Structure 1
Amino acid sequence: MNYLHNYLTENFIFIMIIVGTYFVVSMKSTVDLSLKTRMVINMSLLLAMSINDAYLNYLNEINAVGWQVFVAEVLYYATKPLPMAALIGMSDKTYKRNYIPALINLVLYICYFWYDRTAVLSSGVVEPNFLVRHTYIVTEWVYWVIFLCILNVKFYKKTNNNPLGIFLYISILMTANIMDSFGIRPGIMLKTYAVAFLLYYLIIHVYISQQVNEEKDIKLREQRLSMMLSQIQPHFLYNTLNTITALCRINPKLAEETTVKFSKYLRENMYSMGKADTHPFEQELEHIKIYLEIEKLRFGDRLNVEYHIEATDFEVPVLTLQPIVENAVKHGICKRIEGGTIRIETRKSGNDRIIVIADNGEGFDTSDIYSDGKPHIGIFNANERLKNTLKTEMEISSLVGVGTKVTIIIPGKKAAIKELVGDRREIHSIGR
């Protein structure tokens, strides 16, 4: 009874890790069931090995002889490489093959048991020689070679992960293995493997949870982008159709030209709904020009447009600049009786491309951009698309009664970039 008490006291943390792992694994999560099953098996293996080790020490203390001691010795040495095999199995899909060296090690000890069974029965004394006592060490180092090869392929060749964390992970395990094998700190190997298994499971759990959240975030983002791309102002449609109807009476030729432009405008919108990346700036500019030409039919001399295009050799997210121009017309120019001017310009700045869309309209409070459902939701959506696609943002400066200026800097390295899906970034601010 005292020996059991001592065992529980000395291995309290180890046992709590095992029990804690059972509890963590039983919780509902996105981790694969097969990985959970392996975790339970691996932790149970460590617990069984710890109990067998303690039982063997107990038998030695009471000077027990015979089959009990021999079987405990064989189990002790035969199962030594199994935690390493289990660790490899956690990171390698072909983990069943990795148990072959452990099975060979087990067969060697069974053969030794079978060969010496007569001596054991007659004398009851078990004194394995040095070679037999340390055969499992050879198997363990075979596993280390396998493990390092797997990590080399997974972490050094196929990914750009920093190897420092893996190096420390391996160093700790190898140190514990050596200290246990040569009797420096008996029992430390099992405790270290228990921590290693639990740590590995928690890392996988966090990684999978992040993947699930990223997938949800991507789907949500795609839905919002689809909604943004499908946004065509209803008032613009009604007003354009009314304008065409009026032109049919006074200027049929202009009505025909406007209908063609409007058809091209709608076709571009419908085409853009099926795209999720970028297109040439020239294509976006052509779409904006059609929109402004149609609006100019309504506002006449009240709407003036100036183009200062010095750079066109870059790409922008589809239908991202149009909402900014629409905002300038609807909330800037048309609110002034005398109208105003919209200026669209592009220029080079080193490797970057700069887009400026400015108007001398009414201006607005830039804090309205942050609220969904506000009049400037189009600018908010456009900024989201710029962030998600080109990893850049627009800078907005606006003064009520003076006008609004929107500046977009397209980084040189991203001039022809395509949308990067899965990079989770939160919107914190829009530069002003």
Structure 2
Amino acid sequence: MTLFAVPDFRNLSLILRVFVSVSILLLLLPLLSADNQQDYYTQAVTLAAWVAPFVIITLTVLLLCMRFVLNHAYDTVMAWAITMASYLFCAILFQFPSEAWFADMILISVYVWGFMHYHAILQRALSPALSEAKLAALTARIRPHFLFNSLNAAIALVRSRPAEAEMVLENLADLFRAQLKDGNQASTLGREIELAQGYLAIETIRMGHQRLQSMWYVDAPEQAEVPHLLLQPLLENAVYHGIEPSHRPGEISISIIKRQDWIYIRIDNPLPEESNKTKKRQGNQMALANLSDRLTLMYDADATVRSSKQGDIFRVDMRLPYRKAV
């Protein structure tokens, strides 16, 4: 069980949380030693005068070194060491009283390790979503309804359309390989689009080109860093809950665009006819809740995912911060 974990300071919401918690401490610390109201305000202003630049410098250094720190074997020690080095730099630069250095470093160390302990607790609370997502996706892939029909479709195409049969088997193998990948690893947008298109290609051949159609609009860098298995489970939900229960042809629309420092993803699928709503399949909201937990684990509060009904369309909207994969 991990007691401490380094948070990803590339998340804006995490930086805001640091500023809020530090501000609360600045308001509380003078109460421990102030004798009157004047002393309280004087000490609060004095503390803020050096704490503010120290926090800004420390967060800037951590932000620049984040990839190195997160990939280091002793990431927590590295984060603490960077914070201490930042304090010593500020102490020399702003000429802090040397007799207060030791006490300040003790208080800062308690805050840093406490913050990392809080993040470790948050990770433990959300990490089951990773294994659940991997298990659910793998279960879906070996679901007899999907697997056997996909294999039967490939067998039927071997003689008449061998190229399509080969494509079905290659995409099926690619999907299995993706499910076995470590769910903690990040992926790229290009790779996730490739997996999602491979899945839809299988389903299109299995169900027929008239029954299932897809429309893609992508205006975002393929090297954008995104969570593993981001799109394919959502498209599987769209097929399983929107296309299969319906007797009408259906189109799944996927839009992925980059605006400033954000990536916006929208997936639309038709809702089944009114007569089939009593046979509505379960699990869609569970999958969305699982995805929300995984996004929180990777992006904190910076990423959002929500679903809505727009007439006879079921819509999933996501917003992710743009990060370029290494």
Fold conserved between structures, TM > 0.5: yes
1:203-214 equivalences under 5 Å are: 213-214=121-122
Q: CA deviation at 1:151?
A: 2.4
Question: What residue number does 2:132 align with?
Answer: 224
Task: Provide the residue aligned with 1:296 in structure 2.
Answer: 204
Where does residue 397 of structure 1 map in the other structure? 308
Amino acid across the alignment from 1:356: R
1:262 maps to which of 156, 172, 175:
172
8 Å Cα contact 1:360-1:404 kept in structure 2: yes
Whether contact under 8 Å (1:341, 1:360) holds in the other structure is yes
Taking the aligned partners of 1:226 and 1:153, their CA distance within structure 2 comes to 42
How far the C-alpha of 1:221 sits from its partner, in A, is: 4.6
CA contact (8 A) 1:339 1:361 kept: no
Cα offset for 1:263? 1.6
Mapping for residues 6-21 of structure 1, pairs under 5 Å:
none
User: 1:268 & 1:417 partners in 2: Cα distance?
Assistant: 18
Secondary structure of the 2:293 match is: helix
Amino acid at match of 1:280: T
Q: Is the 8 A contact 2:129 2:294 kept in 1?
A: no
Q: State yes or no: 1:322 paired with 2:322.
A: no
Distance 1:382 1:252, change over 3 A: same
Q: How big is the shift at 1:342?
A: 0.8
Structure 2 counterpart SS, 1:320? coil
Higher RCO (CA 8 Å, separation ≥ 6 residues): 2
In the alignment, does 2:257 pair up with 1:347?
Answer: yes
How far apart are the structure 2 equivalents of 1:340 and 1:355? 20
For 2:104, which of 134, 152, 155 is the aligned residue? 152
Distance in 1 (CA, whole Å) between partners of 2:198 and 2:217 is 17
Following the alignment from structure 1 to structure 2, what is the Cα–Cα distance between the partners of residues 209 and 351?
30
Matched with 2:283 is 374
Alignment equivalent of 1:285, drawn from 181, 187, 193: 193
Show the counterpart of 2:149.
Answer: 239
Give the distance between the partners of 2:204 and 2:214, measured in 1 at CA.
9
**Structural mapping, 1:67-146, within 5 Å:** none
- Provide the C-alpha distance between the structure 1 equivalents of 2:269 and 2:122, rounded to a whole number of angstroms: 38
Tell me which amino acid in the other structure corresponds to 1:332. G
Query: How much has 1:251 moved relative to structure 2?
Result: 3.5
Indicate conservation of the 8 Å contact 1:353/1:410, yes or no. Answer: yes
- C-alpha distance in 1, partners of 2:189/2:116? 38
Structure 2 CA distance for aligned equivalents of residues 212 and 282 of structure 1: 31
The alignment's TM-score, normalised by the length of structure 2, stands at: 0.57
- Provide, for residues 244-268 of structure 1, a one-character-per-residue CA deviation record: whole Å limited to 9, x for no partner: 2322354344322321222222222
Give secondary structure in 1 for the equivalent of 2:140: coil
Deviations 1:53-85 (A, max 9, x none): xxxxxxxxxxxxxxxxxxxxxxxxxxxxxxxxx
Q: Which of 192, 216, 235 is the matching residue for 1:307?
A: 216
Displacement, 1:279?
1.2
* Structure 2 runs not aligned, ≥5 long: 4-96, 275-281
Query: TM-score w.r.t. structure 1 length?
Result: 0.44
What is the DSSP-based 3-state SS (H/G/I as helix, E as strand, rest coil) of the residue aligned with 2:298? helix
Match of 2:316 among 377, 398, 406: 406
CA distance 1:227–1:155, change in 2 (3 Å)? farther
Q: Could you say which structure has the larger radius of gyration?
A: 1
SS at match of 1:260: helix
Compute the displacement of 1:223 (Å): 3.9
Residues 293-336 of structure 1, C-alpha deviations (whole Å, 9 max, x = no match): 00000122111111111112522210022111111111112222
Specify the SS of the correspondent of 1:232. Answer: helix
Distance (Å, rounded) in 1 between the aligned partners of 2:320 and 2:134: 22
Contact 1:327 1:379 in 2 (8 A): no
Q: For residue 6 of structure 2, what is the aligned residue in structure 1? A: none
- Alpha-carbon spacing, 1:296–1:218, altered in 2? closer, same or farther (3 Å): closer
C-alpha separation between the residues in 1 aligned to 2:129 and 2:297? 9
Cα pair 2:224 2:325 within 8 Å, conserved? no
Contact 1:328/1:342, CA 8 A, preserved across alignment: yes
Distance 2:309 2:228 in 1: 25
What is the CA RMSD across the aligned residues, in angstroms?
A: 3.6
Q: CA 1:393/1:277 → structure 2, altered by over 3 Å: closer, same or farther?
A: farther
CA distance change for structure 1 residues 153 and 375 in 2, over 3 Å: closer, same or farther?
Answer: closer
Query: Which among 267, 288, 299 is matched to residue 357 of structure 1?
Result: 267
